[in-house]
A and B are shown apart, each in its own frame.
Chain A
Amino acid sequence: MEIRLKRSEFLTELAPMQGIVERRTTIPVLSHLLLSVRGDRLHLAATDLDVSLTSWVSGEVGREGAIAVQAKKFLEIVRAASAEEVLLTQEEERGLAISFGTARFRIHGLPASDFPTLPNVEARAEVSLPLGRFRRFVSKVLFAVSSEESRFQLSGALVHLKEGAVEMVATDGHRLALIEGAVAEAKGDDSVLVPRKALQELLRFEGEEQLVFRRGEHHLSFVAGRRELVCRILEGTFPDYERVIAKQNDKKVLVDRRGLGEMVQRIALITGDRARGVRLSFAPGEITVSAANPDLGEASESLACEYEGEAIRIGLNPDYLGQFLAAVETEKVLFELKDENSQCLGSPLGGEDGRYLCVIMPMRI
């Protein structure tokens, strides 16, 4: 293969590939990118066998061909290139020359035939969603996705397409985030578990174009512009989440979102360790956040809030609370509580999302 490319255009498509490539892998070819020149384009592909990403850039083609190259080094070299144009020339089955200005790198690669065949998603129907809105939904629940390997079915978010609406839910067993909002383009009634890595990479898709979503037997495809992300569907039963969202938490507190968020972050400083909890004490008209660390000392701070019920205290993980408050955009946030052993249910007051909530289980302090 031989192709001359505009470096900046090339980098735009090359850089996101890095997120897909596995850092530690027992299968060497998975640390590689597949480069193939066909027609007037260079096609790029990266995969970790669960999630794959493809894209392309056009260039001045000398001859067609394909090779797999070590992703990290290749990206570093192209990124470091000092000229506007980069010339890629395959010298044999396993060698690629990267030339720019007077520089010439010759790197070893693997035969393109060693690169895994990427799944072909054969879907009957496709749904087109506004990319910006999809990204927004993802960013509201991603923090609650589990990173524990032993809870496989929680290592992704449930994406539920409804007639005119999209719902996304994520939980790690300690907390749960749910968003549901009108999306005129959505149709049908179908839910699927999307793995965390796919969601993370979709967040990096830029632009405001449409995201075309297709579901195959084992895989999902997301296409936006020239990029396509394909991921394996997470198998497993997502828990019955509606059941755990409290309906009868009678103590309702309205508080300034930003003020509370900053306060929790400050007080958490004294805990010295991310998993040690902070205590939230609610009294009529006032919320106090406090924490104690036997090694260091203690801290507390108060903020006015709208609350009229009896005094109640609850221990929470400050990270869980902070991540939720950071995802909310409204000025005020509503907390619904029952007692110190029951969940804390938070939601924005108003806002553009139809239904957005976060359930956080308490911590014993």
Chain B
Amino acid sequence: MPPASAPLRKIVHVDMDAFYASVEQRDRPELKGRPVVVAWSPEPRSVVCAASYEARAFGVRSAMPATRAARLCPGAVWLRPDFARYKEVSRQVRQIFLRHTELVEPLSLDEAYLDVTVERTGLPSATETARVIRAEIRAETGLTASAGVAPNKLLAKIASDWKKPDGLFVIRPHQVEAFLAPLPVGKLPGVGRATERLLAELGIATAGELRRADPRLLERRLGRFGPRLVELAAGIDERPVLPDRPTRSISAERTFDEDLPAPALGPEIERLARRAWEGAERRRRIARTVTLKLRTADFRTLTRRRTLPHPPRDAAEVAGLAAALLAASGLPAEARFRLAGVGLSGFADEAGDDLQGRLF
């Protein structure tokens, strides 16, 4: 049983620069340096699918009504989107990602998260991996991409936007707090204009201020998003990179209404174990590894896991194992918890893959 909490992850977010417009400019050299707007047509109900950086200089943005774009940039070249071609290039880029890791989560044709904690080609760091990927994209597709490197998806995405276009920005674990403190709240995912205004009324303009805010007050004003927002402002984001393929782990977790002491966790763990178990049953997966995740009142997150020689038989056995992991967690008796989770992984059919011989 590994005593440490979950290992540090290395996440890269890659975002192609003005993707559709760049593909068009690449394939039609006469468009280079000219403002290009990709949209169905410059008619009232149509919206902008993509704008080249030349068009952005005029204030044109994607998802803007086409009529407005036409007003802002009268000299723009209008092109109908050719998604088949974009998808082809997107696939080419995906193949580049897959050389480095199989943990690729595409968000759309032009952006993806990569978990490069374990890198396939043996590159020494995530920063180097991101650099190589950007170089490969440029060499093989003639397009530029921006990348963000960070310990989680949230920060990687903010980072990729930081030096856009054609940039690379790295947030190292020890820089997270200093980076986030002055960050305007509007840069956090899910914070739109309405939330931004609401936070401003509370005197909160930056992630640093948000982090120090009273979570109860935020919850009253923002509902369930309030506490989550405080986590985001603290740079906490444990969402895994989910590739488009069979699930690697099935888990259930819960943030409590108020912080709970260890003895009160028992029934919660039982419920979570049952939920995780049912999730695995539904997907007909048989797991051998049980993981307990805990977050303390002071935002420390730790995970404890145990892999069994044989898969557990039922939810009760999973709950029993999770409770044993809690007892052995080494946390002080007075610790209080804001979140608990139970996960199942190490699925039997995955282990089988190594045993299966290959032809090619």
Contacts and interface: CB of A to CB of B under 8 A. Distances in A.
Given A119-B84, A273-B349, A275-B348, A362 B357 contact: yes
Given A149-B98, A171-B360, A244-B360, A363 B355 contact: yes
A116 B352 contact: no
Interface stretch (A172-180, A184-192, A199-207): A172-180
B358 A174 contact: yes
A273 B352 contact: yes
A244 B40 contact: no
Given A273-B286, A294-B310, A295-B310, A176 B359 contact: yes
A111 B109 CA distance: 23
A334 to B, nearest CB: 20
Contacts of B94: 149
B40 A113 contact: yes
A116 to B, nearest CB: 6
Interface size class of B (residues with CB under 8 A): 20 to 34
A359 B95 CA distance: 28
Q: Which of A149, A317, A361 is the most central at the interface, judged by chain B CB atoms within 10 Å of its CB?
A: A149
B349 A275 contact: yes
A185 to B, nearest CB: 31
Given A49-B83, A361-B356, A26 B108 contact: yes
Given A27-B83, A150-B102, A276 B359 contact: no
Contacts of A239: 359-360
A203 to B, nearest CB: 24
Interface in B332-358: 348-349, 352-353, 355-358
Nearest to A93: B45
B15 to A, nearest CB: 14
A49 B83 CA distance: 7
B310 A361 contact: no
A365 B355 contact: yes
A275 B349 CA distance: 5
Interface string B304-316: 0000011101000
Nearest to B87: A49
B245 interface: yes
B244 interface: yes
Contact of B356 (A119, A171, A363): A363
A26 B286 CA distance: 32
Nearest to A236: B95
Q: Which of A49, A343, A362, A365 is the most central at the interface, judged by chain B CB atoms within 10 Å of its CB?
A: A49
B301 interface: no
Nearest to B49: A27
A277 B356 CA distance: 9
A339 interface: no
A116 B84 contact: yes
A273 B357 contact: no
A317 B83 CA distance: 40
A116 B358 contact: no
B359 A295 contact: no
B40 A116 contact: no
A148 B40 CA distance: 34
A174 B357 contact: yes
Interface in A96-132: 111, 113-114, 116, 119
A269 B306 CA distance: 27
B242 to A, nearest CB: 13
B349 A274 contact: yes
B87 to A, nearest CB: 5
Contact of B286 (A30, A116, A272): A272
B25 interface: no
Nearest to A272: B286
Nearest to A147: B245
A152 interface: yes
A353 interface: no
Contacts of A150: 98, 102
A275 B356 contact: yes
Contacts of B62: none
Given A113-B41, A149-B244, A276 B84 contact: no
A343 B348 contact: no
Contacts of A275: 348-349, 352-353, 356
Contacts of B348: 272-273, 275-276
A361 B41 contact: no
A267 to B, nearest CB: 16
Interface of B: 40-41, 82-84, 87-88, 91, 94-95, 98, 102, 107-109, 244-245, 286, 309-311, 313, 348-349, 352-353, 355-360
16 contacts: A27-B83, A50-B87, A150-B102, A152-B95, A171-B360, A173-B360, A174-B357, A174-B358, A272-B348, A273-B348, A275-B348, A276-B349, A294-B310, A295-B311, A363-B356, A364-B355
What are the 5 A-B residue pairs with the smallest beta carbon separation, nearest first? A275-B352, A361-B357, A275-B349, A26-B108, A364-B355
Given A116-B84, A317-B352, A363-B357, 18 more contacts: A114-B40, A148-B245, A150-B98, A150-B102, A171-B359, A173-B358, A176-B359, A272-B348, A273-B286, A273-B349, A275-B352, A275-B356, A276-B349, A295-B310, A361-B358, A363-B352, A363-B356, A364-B357
